[in-house]
Every structure is written in C-alpha cells, then in structure tokens.
Amino acid sequence: MGYTIRDERRFEAGENKPLYRRINVLDIILIIVILVMALVVASFFTPLTLFGPKTEQRVISYTVEIEGVDADMADMIRNDDMVFDSGSMSVVGVVTAIKKTDMVKYAYNPELGAIEAVSYPEGANQNPPQTLRITVQATADFSAGSGYRVKGSRVSVGSPVTLCFSGFTGTGNCISVYVVGDLKEAGR
C-alpha cells in the first residue's frame, strides 16, 4: 500500500523506517475520472456503450430458402401473406416475393463424366418436392455487434429461420438480408 523512499539524508538522520503515502479522496476522484474518460472514448470506437446497447429499428427484407416442401403446401403461400412468430404467433412480417422451383439433387454421371441435376422422385401427389425462396419484409432491431433481430430472433445469412403461415410452418436457411430503410423512410 505504500512505498519506501531511501534518502541519504533520512538514513544519516537515523530515520530508516518506510515512508507510506496514503491514498486520499482526490486520488480516488482522479482515478474515477480517468476510467470514465476511457469508457467514453471506447464507446465511440467500439460497439461498447455505457447505458445498454444502442439499437435502431430498421425495415429489412430477408430471403429464406426452404427445401423439400410438398407442392400443395407450396401453392398455399402467396404474396402479402402474414408471417407469424412460431412461439407467440404474433405477426413478424409480410411476404413480398416467393419463388417456387422443383427440388433437384446433383449426381455424378459416369457416362458424361460430369455432375448433372437430377429431379427428385415424385411425391404422393405425383409432384416433385419444391424449393421455396420466400422474401419477408419486417421491422427489425439493429444493434452493432449482434446484428438484426426480428421479434427477438436473430436474422443473419446462413442462420436457420422458421417461418409460420396459416396452415404451414417451415424451417430453412436465410440466404440474404438487406435494409429497405429505417422507420422514418418507411413512413414517407
């Protein structure tokens, strides 16, 4: 807690005991001021914040690819359908685009010496399974360092996303995310 100052004059005078310096209130205040200044500077250059995360609401569109959907189920999903949260069943967003394609697999053809696309076998209704690319527009909370969250669920490219519609629930991978605008621009 202290330090020793050895001075020849003190040693010759017979004072050989250590000299302790006490920490006073001004030292504590100076340390606190330096720490606060360091936190303020760090908050400008990093996602670190002093009073919780900085979140902004933005309107985003994200596309989810769901494979192996029955053709009849795929025909039930339309533009402007509401997308619901799987847990609370509250509205998450709106379908803005949907693309349906027959599901294919890629196999090596030894006769051709190349990889080729082969259609999946037909399902129970004599239609091959579908691959759906569903684009959803939603309001998301954006936070630097953690990305976009729609109703508490993180949305990022490559992450699994569950979409719920009336009569259909499917899980796929998010293949794109882009910002449509912030809430001020969306209201104009």
User: Is residue 112 very low, low, confident or very high in pLDDT (cuts 50, 70, 90)?
Assistant: confident
User: Is residue 125 very low, low, confident or very high in pLDDT (cuts 50, 70, 90)?
Assistant: low
* 70 C-beta neighbours (distance < 10 Å), count: 16
Instruction: Return the higher-pLDDT residue of 185 and 60.
Output: 60
Q: Tell me: the pLDDT tens digits for 64-74?
A: 999 888 888 88
- CA 155, 131, 120 angle in degrees (round to 5)? 145
For the chain, what is the mean pLDDT? Answer: 79
Mean of pLDDT values over 170-180: 91
* Contact by Cβ (8 Å): 95, 80: yes
Number of H helices, E strands in the chain: 4, 10
Mean of pLDDT values over 133-158: 88
Mean of pLDDT values over 69-95: 85
